[in-house]
Amino acid sequence: MSDPLQAALKVAASGLSAQSTRLRIVSENLANAQSTGKTAGSEPYRRKTVSFATELDRTTGVETVRIAEVGKDTSAFTEEYDPSHPAADSKGYVKYPNVNMVVEMADMREANRSYEANLQVVKQARELIAMTVDLLRNS
């Protein structure tokens, strides 16, 4: 097994990468929350989801996190009656994305906090490594 502080850095770095991707997906969902189809009856933007998986890093012997899949939310679209809209179907209904702003904001807040926690682990590990080097240098 390698140095525990380096292993902690590896785990935290994988968390930073995973949460960064999650934040990107949430921002895509928020940006497209009102994106309808371009033609009559076409489907609008479909909400994206992120799935995580653990992965054993054989060099350090620690479990890291990675993005397993960026999928599509299969829940129903919302429909509004607006016959003048270019994406309205033959009955005058327009399909809007299945993006719930409250859910996206909660996901964004959780991903942000997880990112900050992993960043704090990196800072602490770097500080401990620097302290160890100083201790060895002054011995």
Look at residue 24 in the predicted model and tell me its pLDDT. Answer: 97
Q: Judge whether residue 139 has pLDDT over 80.
A: no
Q: Are 111 and 2 in contact (CB under 8 A)?
A: no
Q: Are 67 and 21 in contact (CB under 8 A)?
A: yes
Mean pLDDT for the chain overall: 93
Q: Judge whether residue 1 has pLDDT over 60.
A: no
Tokens 């785990």 identify what position? 11
Coil, helix or strand at residue 95:
strand
- pTM value is 0.86
Rounded CA separation 95/76 (Å): 9
